[in-house]
Structure formats: C-alpha cells, structure tokens
Chains A and B, each alone.
Chain A
C-alpha cells in the first residue's frame, strides 16, 4: 500500500499570536507539526504499513524552514518526504501542489489532518480529493484498509458514521484514529539519511487571501459570586447575561 500523508507546520499551541502590520509576527514563535497530522494521520499510516507492507511518504508545501518539521515526520517513521518549495497563501494553493504531486505517485491512500490549528480551514483534504476526483471521508476517528476495501468511521454531529469505500481515497484524520508516537534516538538518526526531495512548484493563483488581522476583545473583568449564593448566579444569568 502506498500512503501519502500531508503534513503542515503550525505555531506551537501555547504560542503568543501577534501581528506586525498585516503579517503574522513569527518572532519568538516555536513551530510544530500540526497535531492532527502528526498524532493521527502519520501514526495510522505507519500502523497500516506495519500491518500490510508498503510505503509512507510525507508531503509538505512550504519553505526550507519547514524541514525540521518534515524531519520529525521521518524520525517518527515515514520512509521519505517531499517538500513543494512554495509559501502557500491559501488552502487552494497548498491543495493544488499536493494533488499535482499525488497524480504522479499512484497512492492508495492520501491522509490529511482534520484541520490545521492556525487557519482552521479543514479544506485541503476535500480540495485534494476533488482535484483527483476521489472519494473524501473527513473527520475519521478510525480507519482500516484490507486490500482495496477501506472501512472508515467518522465523526458526525453527536455521533459517528461507519462507511465502506474502495481505495484510492482521501481521508482526514481526527482524534481516535491512532495514539501519538514519540520519535526515538534510532528514528532521529535514521531520519537524517532518509530522502527529502524538494520540488519546485508551477504557477498557482489564490482566490482568497487574508487582508488584515485583529485580536479578539478580551473579557472585561470577571464578576465574582459568593459560592453560598447560587440564586444570585441564576438571577444574573437570566437578568443580566440573558442566556437562560
């Protein structure tokens, strides 16, 4: 089974987010692999390879400064990696480059995370699927592949749905699909020798882009309520906050 795992780079979850003008200010910000890509998509891909044989390739669309994140993916166990050397300004551009590469690879399974924790789009997987005319199962919390038959359980409102579909498919990974793996020393050493191919992209144009950022309005001051007097809380929720 040939598996392609799309990995993106995002600011670390406790990073302070600030902007200089209209740009995200990256000074002092640590970057990580998007948690859904690392914890679920990549680990499940490796488990499937371990069970059925095959290869796991990771792909990232991004600049050379993303290489440490890609190397981490190799250290966790991917066989090889591809970086499309571009700074995508939108989900569509990232997806077009991924699809272009995937077309040449004959992949049975393309995995993405359910969304990035920076732009929170949950768009790239569907875009790649549409560009390749493949089924797309999103928010998968469980994935099994046997030959070409895939069984996927996915999150829906207030529950789950189990579907069957034949590969090739695109699946976006959510919590439950696998357990996070920490790279060991051997993995880290081996990662240095695994291939990381850099591909120069063709042209792509963005239809949507960020024009400005603002910070959300923080809460003013919290109103403290006497723990003995919950009648007062109920009154405030009704009369002041008007939520009950």
Chain B
C-alpha cells in the first residue's frame, strides 16, 4: 500500500494534496499496489480524493487533529501506516510535511527523501530524484529500507482526475494529547501562498522604493499571481519577509515567474530556477538573469510592467 497524507490547513484540502494523491497513485501503479489517502481533522469532503486515484480514503475527523502538532500527527500517521501495511508514505513538502518527514522516518524506521520532484523508479531498487544544492544539481537517492517516506515538492506533477470520489472511512487510532497550544494563526486571505503559486510576479531593488510596488501588485492582480521579492528588498523592509525567494528564502517552482528589476544573483536564481517559464525585465542588457530567462525584455520596468498589465487586459477582453 502507498499511503498519502493529505494536508488540510484551515479545514480545507489543498491543491498540494491533490498532487500528492496523483503522485501516490502513480507510485502505487508502478509497485503493483493501491493508494490510500489519509485526512486528519476537519477537511470538508475527504472522499473527493478518490478522484485523484485514492482507492481508499481514511478520514480521522477528530477535533484534536484540527491543529497541527508534529508529535501527534507522527503518532497517528505511523499508526495508520502500520494498520494499512504501507510500504511508502508520502506527505506534501509543506510546512506540515516538512515538520513530519523526519519524525516519520524515525518512527517507521524508514529511509526518507525530502522534497522529491519526480516519480521514483522501482525496478532494481527504489530510486527517486530531488534537487540539491538549492537547485544547482539533482541527486538520485536509493532507499533500502522496507518502508520509505517521501515529501513531494509542490507543482512537481500536474493534478490528474482519473478516478471517482469514494466514501471516506474512519479508523481506530490512538491520538496522544498534544503538548503544543496554538494561540494564533494569521494568514493572508485571498492570495495563493508562494510555495503553491502557479504564477508569480517578483521585483527587486530596481523598484527604487516600496512606494512604487503598485505596478507590481496591479500586474499580479491582473494575472491572478502571487507577489515575491529579492532578499535585499525584504531585508530593508520594503516587502514582508515571507515574500523573499531564493536560496535563503522560499524556494519556488511556479509555471510562470516574472522578475522585474532583479539582477539574477546566484542565490536568487537558486530559489527560482526550477520555474517552468521565466520572464525577465531589466534595463541592463548584461544583467545575469537574462541567462536564466525564457523571455527577456530590456527596458525600464516603470514603463514595461504597466504595459504588460494593459496587454493582459486587452487579451482578456478579446478572449
């Protein structure tokens, strides 16, 4: 059995979970077994995970699981993994998944690879790839233990709806008391968080100052994109820390990354060069970022960015 833990922060299943189940189904097919999805706490309709290939959906809808605690979750996931005889346990490489993968590996005496972005090969040993050195290289790992734990990087696999919804079932598990009390949860509503965003508009020091960000926000709104920034921009407080992408910020892999007024330093590229398509706007034709770009525009961003927004509006009106 392949067991996939589906994240449901704020009581809702997320795209990352659909990706993880799609991935889990493909791993299960390759291994000649089935995929089960596990949902913990309040999550709305868990049975919908059947659509993405889960043959079985286990939903432990207990209030004690509404808040994430790595210790409690580890205990419950490991318990379920043992009950269903999981050979592979998959979590999303999300804030919850990253807190769990190490613990689960210890608890299940399993080899683990964090942040995988491709399907494993299972003939002649279980091998799977991930980016290492902040995206500067790719490593293939071999896991030799009977049980394996993986966390799946967001946007690594397109969601595939191949099956149909199933009836979620519960399971008897022991839920230990949590030692962690959640006091407060602050999330920005309305925008897709950076690690999950498919479209990202990012800007750097070329913006001259925080008061100029309006044109970036307008473009992002027009696209339905999430905003990001380079490190110095976050360090000087022009933008919030959570927007900082790069080697020492958030690593992202959106479908489209638009960078305006960012030079393309190696540490910046390390966090964004897995993006599928990169558009670079810079007034300096020698900016290093152009070497990592698919589309380049040499020009003043204060002219170019509003022009893109206008063209998008025109395009939307025509289509």
Contacts and interface: CB of A to CB of B under 8 A. Distances in A.
Interface string B290-301: 111111111110
Contacts of B69: 135
A208 B279 contact: no
A135 to B, nearest CB: 5
B187 A157 contact: yes
Interface stretch (B42-50, B112-120, B166-174, B205-213): B112-120
Interface in B264-319: 266-267, 270, 273-274, 276-280, 290-300, 303-304, 307-308, 310-312, 314-315
B237 to A, nearest CB: 12
Given A126-B102, A208-B112, A213-B137, A166 B179 contact: yes
Given A120-B131, A233-B279, A241-B256, A209 B141 contact: yes
Interface in A145-161: 151, 154-161
Interface string A222-244: 11110110110111111001011
Contacts of A184: none
B199 A160 contact: no
A150 B274 CA distance: 37
B142 interface: yes
B142 A159 contact: no
Interface residues of A, number: 81
Question: Main secondary structure on chain B at its contact with chain A?
Answer: mixed
Contacts of A200: none
A121 interface: yes
A20 interface: no
Interface in A88-103: 90-92, 95
Interface string A132-146: 011111110100000
A157 B109 CA distance: 29
A125 interface: yes
Interface stretch (A9-17, A45-53, A59-67, A69-77): A9-17
A130 B103 contact: yes
Contacts of B298: 224, 227
Contacts of B267: 13-14
A151 B292 CA distance: 41
A135 B241 contact: no
Interface in B176-196: 179-188, 191-196
Contacts of A35: 248
Given A159-B187, A241-B277, 10 more contacts: A92-B106, A120-B130, A124-B102, A135-B70, A139-B99, A158-B242, A207-B111, A216-B274, A219-B292, A230-B307
